[in-house]
């Protein structure tokens, strides 16, 4: 294996990173080149992403990479969160900043969609879970309210597709990110005409779908001139950040599940064909695209968003606490004082998360958390119990028993939550790597450039390159008792 260098641009809802990956013999080495905040911008009653700022940070990352002596790269790839998109108009002009998925304009759009096309029929085609933030409902809201004239829209591009377009001029949609839209046929892996027709959505604005590992084009000359980077291939990794994270799961057993832990928690398995049936619809499971034509059969839960919003509220009140400090408070707090359902709509984007948690406890006749440690412990215990609920549903639908749970992403650093998850699920939990998304991004690029022979080789390389921490279940009788008492909170 040559000492190839790949650059991963990993855009998250809170921050973005530019990470250099070097493949050298039997190891992958990562070096963080650039990190920057990502902000949701509120204007009047709507929330947007600042796409121009983010693209400028991408170029800053390229410039810093070159200044560090890495001007000659083997490839660069972008991954982001799902569902959000921007529009291109005449002359390839961007028609405003993309909306954020937490924007309120999608309220009521699911019900409006079901008046035009049944929920069962949409799910039959797409296999995607129903959330009001999905692209299908975002696009429907624009059509219904005519907030943007359809006559001026020439192409819809999802967030990573926009960055790829800015770098290359090519208008394409990568499969894993396109699958999050609830507009793609899960079996055919193409845009589903019936959905566009029945919901009166314009299919002509959708870009051609390409598979992960596709080489899009060389970076534009004006960008090489501005940043000092030599001409390099822009490669579509698994452009959805969770798809990239799953690509880097260092799994060795056959019956494994993953938990991509961050702002969102995504719990699921990797399968060869979509699982689309009455039970998967009832329990709101999703079939999103992965690499090598695989499907990520999973369910979203709200994740550490609850803690992030609590932290923000406390910070606005003048109390600056690190996540490590909050976790230490949780460790000392009263166990099982209250349990919440992380997916209750109350928690989607409340003005004050601690108040939302208190309201949920009042509604469900539970004691209230009184300290910051109790708020955090409530969140951690609730997440661990919700993970068990989701994994048991997966076992029942697949007919096989999961043997080990791999936790990847930033949340894998939270040792308290990891131990709670092992206790709740009764599974061995293997935590790491932290930078799974960037690693998966780099692995897919390396496969595209034939620096790696297969996904299995890439996963083996991850296992050899990073320290993984194992957690065995503890206090299972207590956790089983709490789970049985709490399961009604999670029931669909």
Q: Which amino acids are annotated catalytic?
A: 241
Residues 233 and 230: their CA atoms lie apart, in Å, by: 10
Q: Which of 473, 445, 443, 471 is nearest to 458 (CA)?
A: 443
Structure tokens given for 227:
């940043």
Main-chain phi, psi angles of 156, to 5 degrees: -105, 130
Strands (E), 46-178: 46-49, 75-79, 85-88, 155-158, 173-174
Structure tokens given for 346:
């109350």
Find the angle CA(282)-CA(285)-CA(290) to the nearest 5 degrees. 155
Main-chain phi, psi angles of 310, to 5 degrees: -65, -45
- Contact, 4 vs 74, CB < 8 A? yes
Token pair 């609590």 is found at: 310
Which helix (H) or strand (E) segment is 223 a member of? helix 221-227
User: Helices 323-332 and 415-425 meet at what angle, rounded to 10?
Assistant: 50
Strands (E), 109-227: 155-158, 173-174, 209-210, 214-218
Checking phi first, is residue 33 left (phi over 0); if not, alpha (psi -120 to 50) or beta? alpha
- Contact, 34 vs 57, CB < 8 A? yes
DSSP for 71-87? -S-SEEEEEB-SS-EEE
Interacting residues of 307 by C-beta distance below 8 A, sequence separation 6+:
323, 326, 376, 379
- Contact, 342 vs 358, CB < 8 A? no
Residues 77 and 80: their CA atoms lie apart, in Å, by: 10
Query: Exposure string (b/e) for 402-428, b if CB count within 10 Å is 16 or more?
Result: bebbbbbbbbbbbebbbbbbbbbbebe
Neighbours of 156 (CB within 10 A): 24
Residues 481 and 467: their CA atoms lie apart, in Å, by: 33
Residues 150 and 141: their CA atoms lie apart, in Å, by: 12
Residues 179 and 186: their CA atoms lie apart, in Å, by: 7
Token pair 């894993």 is found at: 176
Report helix, strand or coil for 56: helix
Q: Which of 101, 190, 87 is nearest to 147 (CA)?
A: 87
């Amino acid at each position: 294996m040559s000492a190839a260098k790949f650059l991963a641009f990993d855009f998250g809802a809170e921050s973005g990173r530019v990470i250099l990956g070097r493949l050298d013999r039997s190891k992958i080495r990562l070096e963080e080149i650039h990190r920057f905040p990502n902000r949701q911008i509120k204007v009047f009653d709507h929330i947007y992403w600042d796409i121009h700022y983010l693209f400028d940070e991408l170029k800053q990352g390229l410039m810093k990479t070159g200044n560090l002596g890495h001007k000659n790269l083997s490839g660069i790839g972008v991954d982001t969160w799902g569902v959000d998109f921007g529009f291109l108009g005449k002359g390839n002009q961007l028609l405003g900043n993309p909306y954020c998925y937490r924007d309120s304009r999608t309220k009521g759009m699911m019900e409006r969609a079901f008046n035009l096309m049944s929920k069962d029929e949409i799910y039959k085609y797409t296999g995607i879970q129903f959330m009001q933030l999905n692209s299908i409902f975002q696009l429907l809201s624009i059509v219904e309210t005519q907030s943007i004239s359809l006559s001026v829209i020439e192409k819809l591009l999802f967030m990573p597709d926009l960055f790829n377009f800015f770098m290359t001029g090519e208008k394409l949609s990568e499969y894993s990110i396109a699958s999050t839209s609830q507009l793609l046929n899960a079996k055919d892996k193409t845009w589903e005409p019936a959905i566009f027709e029945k919901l009166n959505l314009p299919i002509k604005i959708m870009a051609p779908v390409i598979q992960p590992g596709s080489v899009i084009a060389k970076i534009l000359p004006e960008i090489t001139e501005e940043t000092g980077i030599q001409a390099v291939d822009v490669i579509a990794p698994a452009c959805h950040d969770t798809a990239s994270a799953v690509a880097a799961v260092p799994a060795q057993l056959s019956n494994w599940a993953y938990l991509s832990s961050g702002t969102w928690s995504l719990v699921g398995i990797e399968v060869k064909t979509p699982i689309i049936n009455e039970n998967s619809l009832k329990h709101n499971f999703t079939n999103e695209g992965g690499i090598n034509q695989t499907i990520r059969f999973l369910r979203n839960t709200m994740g550490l968003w609850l803690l992030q919003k609590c932290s923000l509220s406390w910070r606005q009140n003048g109390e600056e606490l690190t996540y490590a400090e909050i976790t230490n408070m949780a460790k000392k707090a009263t166990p099982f004082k209250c349990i919440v359902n992380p997916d209750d709509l109350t928690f989607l984007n409340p003005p004050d998360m601690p108040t939302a948690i208190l309201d949920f406890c009042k509604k469900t006749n539970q004691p209230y958390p009184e300290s910051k440690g109790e708020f955090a412990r409530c969140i951690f215990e609730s997440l661990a119990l919700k993970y068990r609920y989701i994994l048991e549903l997966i076992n029942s639908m697949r007919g096989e028993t999961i043997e080990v749970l791999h936790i990847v992403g930033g949340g894998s650093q939270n040792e308290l939550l990891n131990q709670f998850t092992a206790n709740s699920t009764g599974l061995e939990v293997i935590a790491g790597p932290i930078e799974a998304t960037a690693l998966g991004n780099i692995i897919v690029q390396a496969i595209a450039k034939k620096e790696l022979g297969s996904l299995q080789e890439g996963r083996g390389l991850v296992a050899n390159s990073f320290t993984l921490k194992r957690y065995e279940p503890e206090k299972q009788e207590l956790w089983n008792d709490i789970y049985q008492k709490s399961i009604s909170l999670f029931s669909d």
